[in-house]
Structure 1
Amino acid sequence: MSHIYIYSPSSAVRDKAAFRRGIARLQTLGHDVEIDEAALHSHTRFAGDDETRLAAIARAADSEADIALISRGGYGLTRLLPELPYKKIARSIARGTRYVGLSDFTAFQSAVLAKTGAVTWAGPALGEDFGAEGVPDDIMEACFDDLVCGQGEGTGWRLPKTDGPALSRFGKPSAEQAPEFKLRKATLWGGNLSVLCALVGTPYLPAVKGGVLFLEDVNEHPYRIERQLTQLLNAGILGQQKAVVLGAFNRYQLGPHDKGYKLQTVVDWLRSKTRIPVLTGLPFGHVPTKVLLPVGQQIELMVQGRDALLYWG
């Protein structure tokens, strides 16, 4: 049994039913769930005013929980970054608390990495994942269980067929005439693309060189994704990485004006502008099937044919 602390550092919880389902699901899995006193507070669009949410983060750090899990993302953490209790958060991580979340939580994770070097975890949120109607995704639950039990050593996925030709220049062909290569001693970092771009030029974006940058986003048209990737490219951030790994970019709608312009167009464009591998298909983002990723951890990235593996064991 693990001690899981639920708190709300970003947007207000509107779907109370999903919140309750998530709590019940975690308890059914055998976890001891503690709910922060302000988890369901609301102040305009936020889960309480800034002081309330900062206090909730501090309580999460003091909880000595095994997992500090956000209730949801949304928006709200970037305005808190100057006041976050970084030393308290880093001490709690050193004691064993693992902070888990995604989306707006990217701001927290990036700032903690930039200010302290501590590792946090990109993964599920309470309502969106454990509180989903029906049965939560089994891969997500298995990855979460690995984290809770301290057994997770890496994550693998099957690359789309379109990645093969684009990656062939980075390694020798395998038996499938697909690329085979390995990147060692790289810092894994990233998260939500929009949030990361909002941190460019601030002290809260980690200055990672020789890293593997993973990215995802939701409700963003491919041209907006390209515009944000352009910002990271022109800021020199992409050029300092060993690889870029793209997760899910979903819940957008193409229109007649696009005339064939789509997400693959953006991926092809990015590959034409960089000299590093750009992999796709990572099971992470605003999708039911998501893996957990250690933000700030040293990893290896291995590709053999269409099989990709991020290893941190």
Structure 2
Amino acid sequence: MSHIYIYSPSSAVRDRKAARRGIARLKALGHEVEIDEDAFATHMRFAGDDATRLAAIHRACASGADIALITRGGYGLTRLLPQIRTKAVARAVERGTHFVGLSDFTAFQGAVMASTGATTWAGPALGEDFGVEGDADEIMLACFDDLALGQAEGSGWQLPRSEARDRLLHTRGTLWGGNLSVLTSLLGTPYMPQPQAGILFLEDVHEHPYRVERMLTQLLHAGVLARQKAILLGQFTNYRLAPHDKGYKLQTVVDWLRAQVKKVPVFTNLPFGHVTTKVLLPVGSEVELAVEGRDALIVWGHRH
């Protein structure tokens, strides 16, 4: 199958059993797994100090692997952005390495896209996805398998009934985005991508709907949302509503967003985020988005 390089650019791996289960599962699927020498390093909350994690990223670039897969997200990549040799990342992508991750990895993806235009992949992490006890999610495994085989060409999902369209929507743009909190932190920096015709996808975890709205407001006021061809909302999970919300919930935020960007269609239920079922998405690639009825489809063709 594929040569997979495992490395840790963000938070330290605390659940080593899950990481080892993930490694074992990847090997059982037929992959050759190479583990970075500092994949299990620890420095405070990080997977090693900044220099250690930076070196791990550059070793992943030089590994020649088919897929460079993070162990986990967390926090730490924004500290490294000025020192990451993004041109080396882009050269590795040209040679065939797919950089895959989510959450804090959004910062890495934004910097690479903004400075080089190279494509990276929003997708699973070693521990939380491959390292689950029991069976891993079949959709996630199938999408990852498609990427490993060079057959990844699109992802589809079903919209809520309330978003069903009686006509076909078809648009094209640059797919980008990721974790809302991390992406918002890039505003005003050289690491924030600036696609003029983007298809923006967003997800987050542990963020109350009002904080989601506050971050969306920042993107709105910065002019980011108005430049998009479409906005795709993934999964927003693991938050708790309070009694004084008085009916204010995530759907309230979605309705508010649609009222602010009336010319930009907003779709929900994208199977991506801190959830078991997640597709893989090519960040920085030109894609086509088609919506008919409740069926939504993103197509990008083969990415080698």
Indicate which of 236, 252, 260 corresponds to 2:247: 260
CA distance in 2, matches of 1:111, 1:216: 18
Q: Could you tell me which amino acid in structure 2 is paired with residue 266 of structure 1?
A: V
Task: Give me the whole-angstrom Cα distance separating, in 2, the residues matched to 1:153 and 1:3.
Answer: 20
In structure 1, the partner of 2:183 is 196
**For 1:203, what is the secondary structure of its paired residue?**
coil
- C-alpha separation in 1, matches of 2:169 and 2:69: 35
2:13 partner amino acid: V
CA distance in 2, matches of 1:91, 1:153: 22
Tell me the residue number matched to 2:192.
205
Paired residue for 1:306, among 274, 294, 299? 294
* 1:290 aligned to which of 278, 283, 298: 278
* Distance in 2 between residues matched to 1:119 and 1:286, nearest whole Å: 21
Report what 1:176 is aligned to: none
Partner SS for 1:162: helix
- 1:180 Cα deviation (Å)? 1.9
Q: How does 1:130-279 map to 2 (within 5 A)?
A: 130-164=130-164, 173=166, 179-184=167-172, 186-274=173-261, 275-279=263-267
Distance in 2 (alpha carbons) for counterparts of 1:152 and 1:92 = 19
- Pairwise CA RMSD of aligned residues? 0.6
What SS does the aligned partner of 2:287 have? strand
SS of aligned partner of 2:161: coil
Offset at 1:85? Answer: 1.1
Cα shift readout 1:222-265 (whole Å, capped 9, x = no counterpart): 00000000000000000000000000000001110100000000
Question: Is structure 2 residue 66 aligned with structure 1 residue 79?
Answer: no
Q: Which runs of 4+ in 1 moved over 6 A?
A: none
Counterpart of 2:148 in structure 1: which amino acid?
V
The percent of aligned pairs where both chains have the same amino acid is: 69
State the match for 1:22 in structure 2.
22
Q: Aligned equivalents of 1:163 and 1:220: distance in 2?
A: 24
TM superposition shift of 1:134 = 1.2
Whole-angstrom distance in 1 between the partners of 2:86 and 2:267:
33
Residue type of the partner of 2:146?
A: D
The normalised TM-score by structure 2 is 0.98
- Where does structure 2 lack aligned partners over 5 or more consecutive residues? none
- Shift of the alpha carbon at 1:28? 0.3
1:281 matched to 2:264? The reply is no
One-letter code aligned to 2:153 = E
Measure, in 1, the Cα distance between the counterparts of 2:153 and 2:97.
18
What is the DSSP-based 3-state SS (H/G/I as helix, E as strand, rest coil) of the residue aligned with 2:274?
coil
Higher deviation after alignment, 17-26 or 82-91: 82-91
Structure-2 separation of matches of 1:217 and 1:81:
21
Aligned residue for 2:217, secondary structure, equals: helix
Report the Cα distance in structure 2 between the residues aligned to 1:273 and 1:104, rounded to whole angstroms: 27
Identify the residue that residue 70 of structure 2 maps to in structure 1: 70
CA distance, structure 2, for counterparts of residue 305 and residue 262 of structure 1: 25
One-letter code aligned to 2:185: A
Aligned residue identity for 2:276? P
Instruction: State the shift of 1:162 in Å.
Output: 2.0
What 5-or-longer segments of structure 1 have no aligned partner?
174-178
**1:242 alignment partner, SS class:** strand
